[in-house]
């Protein structure tokens, strides 16, 4: 049947031979660092003001709730990475477990996250740095970020891993500095006992489950990207199962740093109504505990982290495009692997161009409103893939496997779905529109093969 030809010749990931192989250079520590860099331990600083106001002073609890949601999903990514250790991650898992068409939609959805996340953080970083260097225009500042990001990714995953390690150390040093100054400030005002207080976790005057859940819808932004570790499966020397484990480890490490810094920030300034500006709330706190020097260091690290996060985002997104191009659900142009550097060079260049244009013209509030949709859709697809593949197809339902193959992914679907329905309306509309565009491309691709039986989409 012609439909079978479309699947086997075009969309079935099991049959693809195009595109070559990626260089296997990453070790487990490289994967953990990659995940940390994408999630950026300092990202909690940029969200702190809005998160504190929305959660009514319960930033820590909001991060904990978001962590629970991500752990259920991370478990599903770990299961699927061990079973299908391929580049493409969300796209590959859903294609294998459910159906190639559904896989395309899942990959298209998660691609929105990988496209928007680097745009957001590159633009944020450029904007922060322009506060220190206001004479540099945005169009040029963006180039200062995007050119090195693209060069590092183009010339090899090993080089990218070294840059990631440097950026991770820089971000962690800035956190140590802030926490050290915060502790010194708290101890000088209230003694050693001041650093251990429930006031940093719960405010009895404003607490409700509703404000915590509202805060979680913002806190989850910090976690978007832990799944990027699994996109690097074909760049890795370790097994697929260890790739999934690396994703969980990076998620836990990032959570520790998020919670630690927002805990001390809340203790230093518990009155969330006193911020001069939500956008600069954390830097007001940094100035309070460490003066302008600490605030400047935090600003510089935020700016530099834009390179590392953009690097990880562009790298992960290019692997999604590579996987979809290799399986011919996108033109095989995207599946090209550089002969010398063993990187998906065409996909990297395309993402660099899109990233620059998007960062230049899209307003930050619009980027914020749409970036969650793609990730949550992809997360739900991966959770559903675990249930379909193992609970229904393989019928593995005994003992602890029941939790891994049904209960955990079911909770992951429910919590991600709950966060999604509480998203901003503009984000929902933009996300649904993106899925509609992808579905239209899929239909056109299927019809293309029906009309042109002997042609390839190249």
Q: Which DSSP string do the residues of 130-152 spell out, in sequence order?
A: HHH-TTS-HHHHHHHHHHHHHHH
Distance between CA 114 and CA 28 in Å, rounded?
A: 22
- 359 is in which domain, residue-wise? 2-451
Cα gap 291→85, rounded to integer Å: 48
> Is 320 contained in some domain?
yes
- How high is the pLDDT of residue 376? 85
Task: Tell me, yes or no, whether 362 lies in a domain.
Answer: yes
Three-state DSSP at 433 gives helix
DSSP codes of every residue in 307-347: HHHHHHHHHHHHHHHHHHHHTTSS-GGGG---TTT-S-HHH
Of 122, 116, 123, nearest to 374 by C-alpha is 116
- Between residues 311 and 144, the one the model is more confident about: 144
Given a contact cutoff of 8 angstroms between Cβ atoms, the answer to whether 324 and 180 are in contact is: no
For residues 338-361, one letter each, b for 16 or more C-beta atoms within 10 angstroms of the residue's C-beta and e for the rest, the string is beebbbbbbbbbbbbeebbebbee
Q: Are 63 and 222 in contact (CB under 8 A)?
A: yes
Torsion of CA 122, 126, 127, 133, to 10 degrees: 170
Residue 392 lies in a domain: yes
Is residue 457 assigned to a domain?
Answer: no
- 448 and 457 Cβ atoms separated by less than 8 Å: yes
Identify the burial level of 323 via C-beta atoms within 10 angstroms of its C-beta, where 0-12 means exposed, 13-18 middle and 19 or more buried. buried
> What are 26's strand-pairing partners?
236
**Is 208 inside any structural domain?**
yes
CATH number reported for the structural domain that contains residue 22 in this entry: 1.20.1740.10
Percent of the chain clearing pLDDT 90 (strictly above): 16
Residue-wise pLDDT for 265-296, tens only, equals: 999 998 888 888 777 788 889 989 998 888 88
* % of the chain with per-residue pLDDT over 70: 85
At residue 5, the pLDDT reads: 40
Cα(68)–Cα(38) distance, rounded to whole angstroms? 19
Distance, first Cα to last Cα, the chain: 22
Which tokens hold the place of 193?
A: 């006992």
Query: What are the residues facing 236 on neighbouring strands?
Result: 26
Q: What is the pLDDT of residues 432-457, one digit of tens each?
A: 998 999 899 888 877 765 544 443 44
Residues 168/36, Cβ–Cβ less than 8 Å? yes
Query: Looking at the domain assignment, is residue 456 inside a domain?
Result: no
Determine contact, residues 225/9, Cβ cutoff 8 Å: no
CB atoms inside a 10 Å sphere around CB 77: 28
Does 377 have pLDDT greater than 60?
A: yes
Pick from 105, 40, 75: which is nearest to 313 by CA? 40
Return all residues near 290 (Cβ < 8 A) that are at least 6 apart: 177, 178, 181
Cβ distance 311 to 30 under 8 Å? no
Measure the CA angle with vertex 361, ends 360 and 367; round to 5°: 100
Residue 73 resides in a domain: yes
Q: Are 321 and 330 in contact (CB under 8 A)?
A: yes
Task: Report the range out of 118-122, 149-153, 385-389 with the highest average pLDDT.
Answer: 385-389
The answer to whether 111 and 354 have CB atoms below 8 angstroms apart is: no
Please indicate, yes or no, whether the overall pTM of this predicted structure exceeds 0.85: no
Characterise 275 by phi-psi region: left (phi > 0), alpha (psi -120 to 50), beta (else): beta
Note whether residue 195 is domain-resident.
Answer: yes
Q: What is the pLDDT of residues 68-112, one digit of tens each?
A: 888 888 888 888 877 877 655 788 889 889 998 888 888 888 878
How many domains in the chain? 1
Choose among 119, 63, 115, 52: nearest CA to 373: 115
């Amino acid at each position: 049947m012609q439909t079978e030809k479309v699947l086997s010749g075009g969309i079935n990931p099991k049959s693809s031979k195009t595109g070559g192989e990626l260089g296997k250079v990453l070790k487990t520590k490289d994967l953990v660092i990659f995940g940390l860099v994408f999630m950026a331990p300092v990202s909690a600083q940029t969200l702190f003001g809005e998160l504190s106001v929305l959660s009514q002073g319960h930033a820590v609890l909001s991060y904990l709730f978001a962590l629970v949601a991500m752990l259920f999903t991370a478990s599903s990514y770990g299961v699927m990475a061990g079973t299908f250790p391929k580049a493409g991650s969300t796209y590959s898992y859903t294609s294998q477990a459910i159906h190639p068409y559904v896989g395309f939609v899942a990959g298209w959805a998660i691609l929105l996250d990988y496209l928007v996340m680097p745009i957001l953080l590159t633009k944020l970083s450029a904007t922060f740095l322009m506060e220190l260097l206001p004479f540099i225009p945005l169009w040029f500042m963006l180039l200062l970020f995007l050119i090195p990001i693209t060069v590092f990714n183009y010339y090899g995953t090993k080089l990218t891993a070294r840059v990631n390690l440097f950026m991770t150390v820089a971000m962690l040093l800035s956190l140590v500095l802030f926490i050290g100054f915060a502790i010194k400030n708290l101890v000088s005002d209230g003694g050693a006992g001041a650093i251990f207080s429930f006031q940093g976790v719960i405010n009895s005057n404003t607490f409700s489950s509703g404000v915590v859940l509202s805060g979680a819808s913002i806190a989850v932004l910090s976690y978007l990207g832990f799944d990027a570790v699994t996109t690097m499966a074909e760049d890795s020397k370790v097994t697929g199962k260890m790739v999934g484990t690396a994703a969980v480890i990076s998620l836990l490490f990032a959570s520790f740093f998020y919670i630690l810094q927002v805990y001390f920030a809340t203790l230093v300034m518990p009155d969330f109504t006193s911020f001069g500006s939500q956008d600069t709330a954390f830097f007001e706190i940094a100035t309070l505990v460490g003066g302008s020097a600490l605030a400047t260091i935090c600003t510089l690290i935020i700016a530099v982290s834009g390179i590392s996060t953009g690097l990880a985002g562009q790298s992960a997104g290019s692997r999604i495009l590579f996987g979809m191009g290799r399986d011919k659900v996108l033109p095989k142009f995207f599946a090209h692997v550089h002969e010398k550097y063993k990187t998906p060079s065409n996909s990297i260049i395309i993402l660099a161009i899109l990233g620059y244009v998007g960062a230049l013209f899209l307003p930050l509030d619009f980027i914020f409103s749409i970036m969650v949709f793609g990730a949550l859709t992809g997360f739900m697809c991966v959770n559903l893939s675990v249930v379909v593949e193992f609970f229904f197809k393989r019928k593995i339902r005994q003992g602890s496997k029941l939790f891994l193959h049904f209960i955990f992914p079911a909770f992951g679907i429910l919590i991600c779905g709950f966060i999604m329905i509480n998203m901003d309306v503009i984000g929902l509309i933009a996300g649904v529109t993106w899925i509609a565009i992808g579905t239209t491309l899929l239909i056109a691709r299927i019809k293309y093969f029906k009309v042109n039986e002997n042609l390839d989409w190249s």
